[in-house]
Amino acid sequence: MSKVSKKKDRAPRADGTRTGATRTDARAADGPGTDTRTDDGARPATTAGVSRRRLIGGAGAAGAAGLVLGAAGGAGGYAATRDDPPAALTTIGSTEVMFHGKHQPGITTPLQARGHLVAFDLASGAGRRGAAALMRRWSALAERLMAGRTAGGGAGHDTGVALDAGPSSLTVTFGFGRSFFERTDLVDRRPAGLDPLPPFSSDHLDAGRSEGDLWVQIGSDDSLVAFHALRALQKEAGEAARVRWQMNGFNRTPGATARPMTTRNLMGQVDGTNNPEPGESDFDRRIFVPSGGPAAHAWLEGGSYAVVRRIRMLLDDWEKLPVGRQEQVIGRRKADGAPLSGGTGTTPMDLDKTGADGKPLIPANAHARISSPEKNGGAAMLRRPFSYHDGLLDDGSPDAGLLFICWQADPFRGFVPVQRKLDRGDALSPFIRHEASGLFAVPGGAAPGEYVGQRLLEA
């Protein structure tokens, strides 16, 4: 950290985040742009607290020309006329997630507003040495960006997109695909968890948007911060790797609801109910690879497996259904995500509860019933998705849906058995199409002084 840093230390949260950091260190040490925030992250009242009355009252001397000039200032001029100071936005921008740790960031980190998923293929001849050099550069870059600093690399290297922003909960997560081990002559260290996923009847997969040697997940609560990280990582790849595919997603912005709540997907359904929680006694066992496995796979201890699926939603068809029918398909109320068996969004489903007609309140083919751990031998996965919208298809229907990402200690005990069961009779299946797929081994977190994957590439 630069000697001119004025960052106020705050104890990191259990999820690895830290709030209240003042970003004058990044601005002074790493590039132009002055951050006038105080230690608590708020803008001085002389700028953020300008009221509409004061602005208009002071316009007389400047005349009409002054007002036109203010309008030309774009967002800055608009912000100056608002009656409310942007305190909430300042809080969001100052939240920092730690890069180093037992696990990589972006797994248990709370859902972010913006995400980019990118797969790369190693260049021919890069080999193990080239892959190690790339992961070393990427890890150093991710650490800088997650701390709210510039990309570095000399004059002109940084695009300047995020110069006036804080870290905004930025996370960068790295994973290795099955083909990575062939490209680096490390097949003997490839775990069985990277065996190819079986085909499913709902698959309509595009090979060009599936799999890949390397996978990068970027998340942030600010779109420009996320885009800046995306560009920096793509540029840092240099000649060592090329982009295979890229997908861009979004979620609701933190603070947009009156109280914290599970996010909704583009079908309007609460998505993420019944997710495993980090505080549960068996959470680590279900989500992270334990120690004590084969020595050849020790590099994966503390890591996880990510299954990535681009799932297009047939929204035109879905939106024709009345709300009551949609709830029968899902098995939960649309308003609050509560199970049709009663209760609230956090109430466990009562799969045996019947209605006056003697039929189960949660239909036999409801998505929530079929995918529940109770119906899958306890199989569980941590779902951490983004929504996407890529415009319209040739027939005029929306190319929109879910970038489904799930985390588990073993995909053949988590994702695969659940998806197989869904494949055999899920009421939701007629309204979705699985169009891309990837499976990646995500190493454990890097210790200070390490880069991600070092225990594999330098063993």
Whether 308 contacts 411, CB under 8 Å: no
DSSP result, 308-377: EEEEEE-HHHHTTS-HHHHHHHHTB-TTT--BTTSS-TTSPP-TT-B-TTSSBSS-TT-HHHHTSGGGTT
Residue 381: CA atoms inside 13 Å, Cβ hemisphere, count? 25
Spell out the residues 6+ positions from residue 5 whose beta carbon is closer than 8 angstroms to its own: 24, 25, 28, 29
Residue among 413, 328, 351, 329 at smallest CA distance from 378: 413
Rounded CA-CA distance 235/154 in Å is: 13
Ramachandran assignment for 352, one of left (phi > 0), alpha (psi -120 to 50 degrees), beta (any other): alpha
Helix/strand/coil (H, E, C) string of 148-191?
A: CCCCCCCCCCCCCCCCCCCCCCCEEEEEECHHHHHHCCCHHHCC
Distance from the Cα of residue 301 to its chain's centroid: 22
Residue 350 annotated in active site: no
User: H/E element holding 60?
Assistant: helix 59-72
Could you say which of 271, 350, 390, 395 is catalytic? Answer: 271
200-224 burial by CB neighbour count: b if 16+ within 10 A, else e? bebbebeeebbbbbbbbbbbbbbbe
Residue 164, exposed/middle/buried by CB under 10 A (0-12, 13-18, 19+)?
middle
The CA-based dihedral angle spanning residues 349, 273, 11, 305, taken in that order and rounded to the nearest 10 degrees: 110
Distance from the Cα of residue 273 to its chain's centroid: 17
First and final CA of the chain: distance in angstroms? 30
Residue 329, exposed/middle/buried by CB under 10 A (0-12, 13-18, 19+)?
buried
Q: Could you tell me the sign of the dihedral formed by the alpha carbons of 360, 362, 367, 373, in that order?
A: negative
DSSP result, 82-116: -SS--HHHHHHHH-EE-S-SSS-TTSSSPPPSEEE
Residue among 350, 346, 391 at smallest CA distance from 374: 350
Whether 310 contacts 247, CB under 8 Å: yes
Query: Which amino acids are annotated catalytic?
Result: 271
